[in-house]
Amino acid sequence: MMKFNYTGVEEVPILEMSSEDGTIAMMMPHRPANALSYVEEVLNSRWIGQGPKVKRFEEIFHETLLSNRGAVSSVGSGTDALHLAYLLAGLKEGDEVVSPVFTCTATNIPLLYIGANIKFADIEPGSLNISVDHVRKLVNNNTKAIVTVDYGGEPSKIRELREISEKYGIPIIQDAAQSLGASRDGEPVGTSADFTTFSFQAVKHITTGDGGMLVMKDPLMKPLADRLRWFGIDRSAKQKGIWENDITEIGFKYQMTDVSAALGIAGLEELDQVLSHRRRLVSTYTELLASNSAVEILGYGGVPLQNHGAWLFTVAVEKRRKLQEKLLANGIESNQVHYRNDKYAIFGGSRQPMPNMDLIEEKYLVLPLHTSMDESHVRRICGVINAGW
């Protein structure tokens, strides 16, 4: 049957999942302790839409995750953030953009809004992140930007991609929807690329119900970003009564609300614990599956675990469908989550030659990983897997 997958973005075929008690869900929202009280405070205040809580959420995020480097603008979704990043990067109709073939469609769909010409890049076999070698082959004098995605929480190789981007004088846009709180080469995610986007969708590390954050390396871009997220209007000037009462830029309805920001503030208070818990579960998975030669762990070889976002735990196996069916029979959900984008009709609907993606396409499977689990759930999952399928 057809259902929405757990990212809530793209419609994909999945196995029917059990809803009986005892089922280990593949993904679950994290519910911070202070979420209800913070939201209640907003509901009892003057501001429910974009107001002081949005500003405070941005300030906390900017300080704690980026050490106040660059600038931030909160928005209604990670997809909103990507669209604004592409616009601020100067992309326009017909521009050639190199982007990963393997990602949530939300990465690439905003490029279609603009009418950009997407050049899909293959993956690296171990991380499933964009292949730097393939990017080198694809980039040319017509390329206007490089897009990269941190699959599962492993930060992209921004340092290597930067060498390419500087050679051609083009920006890097990093989709960090899955790598909140991660770092690579001593640099926190969000401080290295020209533009970085984060997602606070329901099952991400922290949630605002739905929401996103745009990070700009150049802080001078913030006023434009803030205008574009609100119809092209300078809200600050308007509220002070000094707005010129004219709109010169085509803007959007992309702002965050104070209700959402209240959830985000509560989530940021617990982010360190969330990351620690998820990393501990990954460590348990790795230990219990290490001796199983039928299972290859993907996405955890590029950075130390303490620097990893640990949003997905992905394995590669033969006879994936049989394993998924066995897990389901034992009350354990699993899924592929993301699919190669070149297969979708909106992107042309024709699989391009991608040797690494072709090799892994029928093998990768995402196992449960979230804060409603503990090590006993991981042991149960690994026990089913290690018994064979």
* Residue 232 φ/ψ region, left for φ over 0, alpha for ψ in the -120 to 50 degree band, beta for the rest: left
pLDDT band (50, 70, 90) for residue 207: very high
> For the CA atoms of 5, 302, 126, 8, what is the dihedral angle to 10 degrees?
10
What one-character DSSP code corresponds to residue 62? Answer: H
Q: What is the pLDDT of residue 22?
A: 86
Q: What is the pLDDT of residue 64?
A: 97
165-201, pLDDT tens digit by residue?
999 999 999 999 999 999 999 999 999 999 999 999 9
pLDDT of 367 strictly over 60: yes
109-128, pLDDT tens digit by residue?
999 999 999 999 999 999 99
Tell me the C-alpha distance between 316 and 298, whole Å: 7
* DSSP code per residue over 69-98: -SEEEEES-HHHHHHHHHHHTT--TT-EEE
Tell me the C-alpha distance between 54 and 98, whole Å: 33
Question: Letter for the amino acid at 267?
Answer: G
Alpha carbon 63 to chain centroid, angstroms: 20
Tell me the C-alpha distance between 219 and 313, whole Å: 35
Domain with CATH 3.40.640.10 in the chain: 35-269
Domain with CATH 3.90.1150.10 in the chain: 2-7+271-386
For residue 114, give every residue at least 6 positions away whose Cβ sits within 8 Å of its Cβ, in sequence order, or none: 83, 86, 87, 91, 92, 93, 95
pLDDT of 331 strictly over 70: yes
Q: What are phi and psi of 304, to 5 degrees?
A: -60, 150
pLDDT band (50, 70, 90) for residue 246: confident
The 3 state secondary structure assigned to 117-131 is EEEEECECCCCCCEC
Mean pLDDT confidence for 41-48? 95
Instruction: Please state, rounded to an integer, the average pLDDT across all residues of the chain.
Output: 93
- Angle of helix 258-269 relative to helix 52-66, nearest 10 degrees, comes to 30
Q: Based on the number of CB atoms within 10 Å of its own CB, is 51 exposed (0-12), middle (13-18) or buried (19 or more)?
A: middle
Residue 158 host element (H or E): helix 158-168
146-155 core/surface letters (b: 16 or more CB in 10 A; e: else): bbbbbbbbbb
pLDDT band (50, 70, 90) for residue 235: confident
What one-character DSSP code corresponds to residue 21? Answer: T
SS3 51: coil
Looking at domain 2-7+271-386, its CATH superfamily turns out to be Aspartate Aminotransferase, domain 1 (3.90.1150.10)
Tell me the C-alpha distance between 58 and 323, whole Å: 43
Tell me the C-alpha distance between 82 and 97, whole Å: 13
Q: What is the pLDDT of residue 8?
A: 35
> For the CA atoms of 31, 32, 33, 37, what is the dihedral angle to 10 degrees?
-90
User: Which residue's structure tokens are 């509220």?
Assistant: 239
Tell me the C-alpha distance between 338 and 81, whole Å: 19
Q: Which residue has the higher pLDDT, 265 or 238?
A: 265
Q: Based on the number of CB atoms within 10 Å of its own CB, is 245 exposed (0-12), middle (13-18) or buried (19 or more)?
A: exposed
* DSSP code per residue over 242-310: ---S---S---B-B--HHHHHHHHHHHHTHHHHHHHHHHHHHHHHHHHTT-TT-EEES-SSS-GGG---
Tell me the C-alpha distance between 315 and 299, whole Å: 9
How is domain 35-269 classified at the CATH fold level? Aspartate Aminotransferase; domain 2 (3.40.640)
